[in-house]
Amino acid sequence: MPELRKDPIAGRWVIISTERARRPSDFAAGAAAPGACAFCPGGEASTPDELLAVRPYGGDANGPGWSVRVVPNKFPALRVEGELEPSGEGLYDRTTGVGAHEVIIETPSHDAAMWDLAPRAVADVLGAYRARIADLARDPRLAYAMVFKNHGEGAGASLVHPHSQLIATPIVPIMVEEELAGAVQHFRMKKRCIWCDIVHQERRGRERLILEAGPFVALAPFAPRLPFETWILPTDHRSSFEETTGPELEVLAGLLQEVLRRMARVLHTPPYNYMLHSAPFRSTSRERFHWHIEIIPKLTRVAGFEWGTGFFINATPPEEAARYLRGEAPESPVS
């Protein structure tokens, strides 16, 4: 059973993932799994039973004919069975590693880029995120669900076939807690949502604005941790991603694709991660949250200074990154 452990000094939790236990010899670089891809059509029997699938022309569960498929992770970081059992060990706190770890297979095509899919297909992927978050939010043991995508080996992906993941945790993650704390503090002072204020300021100033599409905006944040970090968020106040409507998902899909397409052009198809931050399931201040997607191309390596301080050194000012992604910079291949 995996375990959640808390660092007693920094208050940070880690998952000690015994299902994936690693001996020193397992860390050899690039040890890819051989054989057929379990995420390709025909490989359905190699994954755990599906939780959800989009089948435009019908077809049976766990057979081919799907366009999006959600399955439990075969090697989950957290286990969905069991109860939360907190325990102590002297100074230390731990609890059983209860949670969910799911894989969203985004397309039957083994090596399609997300920006090459039909916007309707990407909207279905986002719809799968929405449905899975909404379903897990009903589990009283769980406090949060984070959807994320690792694309490319440099971004931590171990499989090529396009997929995202969802991990639901029984504890609100520290980064979401910190964001929410900042938002609550801002609201106390200003009676306004901090993300709404940011959207307002960026749409007025425009130098960090990348794209607008219907009720969504893509921008370079004022203090990005990494070069070309980009946020996508609704322009109106929306706490939970689950509230997004079907037509909105289609607009969002197109915007996400366009941002990824431009990053690929400007930065030569870099590995990247994106993370969907939605409101915690049952926090009393959840209405202060404003959902957003953070996209980070992996262009540099995190080194000792960042690990030791939490300070990031970013050599690309966001105004510059936004200019490139808008297609306005001289060497920009976007325009």
Q: Work out how close the CB of 212 gets to a copy of itself at its nearest, in angstroms, rounded to a whole number.
A: 19
Q: Which of 115, 195, 216, 281 binds a copy of itself (CB under 8 A)?
A: 195
Residue 18 and residue 4: Cα distance in Å, rounded? 11
Residue 18 interacts with a copy of itself (CB under 8 A): yes or no:
yes
Q: How many CB atoms lie within 10 A of CB 214?
A: 14
Q: Which of 57, 58, 188, 309 binds a copy of itself (CB under 8 A)?
A: 309
Closest to 292 measured CA to CA, from 146, 123, 121: 146
Residue 279 and residue 65: Cα distance in Å, rounded? 33
Q: Which string of x and - marks every residue 114-153 that binds a copy of itself (by CB under 8 A)?
A: ------------------------------x-x-xxx--x
With contacts defined by CB under 8 A, name the span among 66-74, 118-126, 163-171, 236-244 that binds a copy of itself: 163-171
With contacts defined by CB under 8 A, name the span among 10-18, 50-58, 111-119, 135-143 that binds a copy of itself: 10-18
- Write the burial class of residue 29 (CB in 10 Å: 0-12 exposed, 13-18 middle, 19+ buried): exposed
CB 1 within 8 A of CB 127: no
Q: Work out how close the CB of 196 gets to a copy of itself at its nearest, in angstroms, rounded to a whole number.
A: 11
- Write the burial class of residue 221 (CB in 10 Å: 0-12 exposed, 13-18 middle, 19+ buried): middle
163 is catalytic: yes
With contacts defined by CB under 8 A, name the span among 21-29, 36-44, 56-64, 107-115 that binds a copy of itself: 21-29
Closer by beta carbon to a copy of itself, 9 or else 45: 9
Q: Which of 32, 33, 189, 303 binds a copy of itself (CB under 8 A)?
A: 303
CB 325 within 8 A of CB 230: yes
Tell me which residues in 208-237 interact with a copy of itself (CB under 8 A): 221-225, 227
Q: Work out how close the CB of 332 gets to a copy of itself at its nearest, in angstroms, rounded to a whole number.
A: 8
Residue 183 interacts with a copy of itself (CB under 8 A): yes or no:
yes
Residue 49 half-sphere exposure toward CB, CA atoms < 13 A: 2
CB 214 within 8 A of CB 232: no
**Cα dihedral 183/186/191/194 (nearest 10):** -60
Tell me which residues in 235-274 interact with a copy of itself (CB under 8 A): 266-268, 270, 273-274
SS3 110: coil
Closer by beta carbon to a copy of itself, 66 or else 259: 259
Please name the residues in contact with 294: beta carbons below 8 A apart, sequence gap of 6 or more. 229, 230, 231, 274, 275, 277
Closest to 242 measured CA to CA, from 137, 171, 165: 137
Of 151, 161, 163, 277, the catalytic one is 163
Tell me which residues in 272-291 interact with a copy of itself (CB under 8 A): 273-277
Q: Which of 156, 236, 269, 328 binds a copy of itself (CB under 8 A)?
A: 156
Q: Determine the size of the site formed for a copy of itself (CB under 8 A).
A: 97
Tell me which residues in 38-97 interact with a copy of itself (CB under 8 A): 77, 89-92
Q: Work out how close the CB of 59 gets to a copy of itself at its nearest, in angstroms, rounded to a whole number.
A: 30
The residues carrying an active-site annotation are 163
